[in-house]
Chain A
Amino acid sequence: MSESTHAHAAPHHRNYVRIWALLVVLLVISVAGPMLGVPLVTLITAFGVALVKAYLVAKNFMHLDVEKPIVHAAIGLTLLIMVVLYAGVAPDVQKSAGQNWKKSDGFHYVSEAAKGGAGQKGHDERARGH
């Protein structure tokens, strides 16, 4: 075990502090971008940067780039499975209305909660005529 870690050649170590600095710069961009208020810019900076940061951490800190293919396959398949989950469930859960139905307007937020408190009030609200 300790013996087999010597199989890692020193070359795979990189300048971790430089990569960290890059990550911090990206973080700044991802906070500054959304402050402009332009949705496309927000998308690219906040979420695009997240993808880049995750890639950098996975590649450089987790050394995923020099890891064996079986690990790439396992992680890649798992992420694909999450895409399948989204694709199969979103048609039902993401929509608030369909061809013949509409979700009820039962969305109670802070104002309700601050007024009436939380808890299982479903049946009471039904009784009040929703």
Chain B
Amino acid sequence: MSAHSIATTRSATGIPTGRLAVWWVLVSEIVIFGGVLVSYVMHRLGHPEWAAEAAHTNTWAGAFNTLVLLTSSLAAVLAHQAAERGEGPKAARLLRLTVLGGAVFLTVKGFEWTHEIQAGFTLQAGGFWSYYYLAAGLHAFHVLAGMVILLWVAASAARNRHLHRVENIGIYWHFVDIVWIFLFPLLYIAK
């Protein structure tokens, strides 16, 4: 009770506090990923020969992962819809489906990277590969963190508590999806 403040319930902007906070988190995340991607794009445009390295990425794995994340985003927004209708347990199930999508994504990534590392395409194998692992790795870290928070929100939602958090974690998850929507062509397609 001392950890909750009346301040949290106020809304001078009309936007619920939790949702406003998530948007500000996204602001800081856009610049972090932006920093990585801008650096990568500058190098990539300046080194046409990197296309030869990029040819070794697994486009099908990347495309499949894009499909997986898009589907998990669908689950997340359906969870939001359920939460708005007060259907906590249903929202929790959909959130857990979202988490499953994240888990599939990370598993595919695990296989992908194992294969690439065994073929000699390591983090140190050259400029393209350093950026490849940095960008995709940073993204994967955010997927993992998102999964943890999704599970935590789902646990509350299953008991019909804190249903507003379903929308908020969904917004974060859609952002993670959008980052991958750009990573896919940048890392896999541009050959």
Contacts and interface: CB of A to CB of B under 8 A. Distances in A.
Q: Do chains A and B touch in the complex (CB under 8 A)?
A: yes
Interface of A: 1-2, 4-5, 7-8, 10, 13, 16-17, 20, 23-24, 27, 30-31, 34, 42, 46-47, 49-50, 53-54, 57-58, 60-62, 67-68, 70-71, 74-75, 78-79, 81-82, 85-86, 89-90, 93-96, 107-110, 112-114, 118-119
| Secondary structure type dominating chain B contacts | helix
B43 A71 contact: no
A16 B78 CA distance: 7
A118 B66 contact: no
A49 B184 CA distance: 11
Interface string B105-147: 0000000000000001111111111000000000000000000
A42 B54 CA distance: 15
Nearest to B20: A71
A10 B84 CA distance: 9
Interface string B10-39: 010111111010011011001100110011
Interface of B: 8-9, 11, 13-18, 20, 23-24, 26-27, 30-31, 34-35, 38-39, 41-43, 45-47, 49, 52-53, 56, 59, 63, 66-67, 70-71, 73-74, 76-78, 81, 84, 120-129, 162-164, 167, 170-171, 174-175, 177-178, 181-182, 184-185, 189-191
A1 B189 contact: no
A31 to B, nearest CB: 5
A2 B164 contact: yes
A70 B122 contact: no
Nearest to A27: B66
Contacts of A61: 73-74, 76-77, 170, 174, 177
Given A1-B9, A34-B189, A93-B39, A118 B63 contact: no
Contacts of A95: 46
Contacts of B67: 24, 27
Contacts of B30: 75, 78-79, 82
A16 B77 contact: yes
A101 B17 CA distance: 53
9 contacts: A5-B16, A5-B163, A27-B70, A50-B182, A62-B170, A68-B15, A79-B30, A85-B38, A110-B56
B184 A50 contact: yes
B189 to A, nearest CB: 4
Contacts of B162: 1-2
B59 to A, nearest CB: 7
Given A27-B67, A71-B23, A93 B167 contact: no
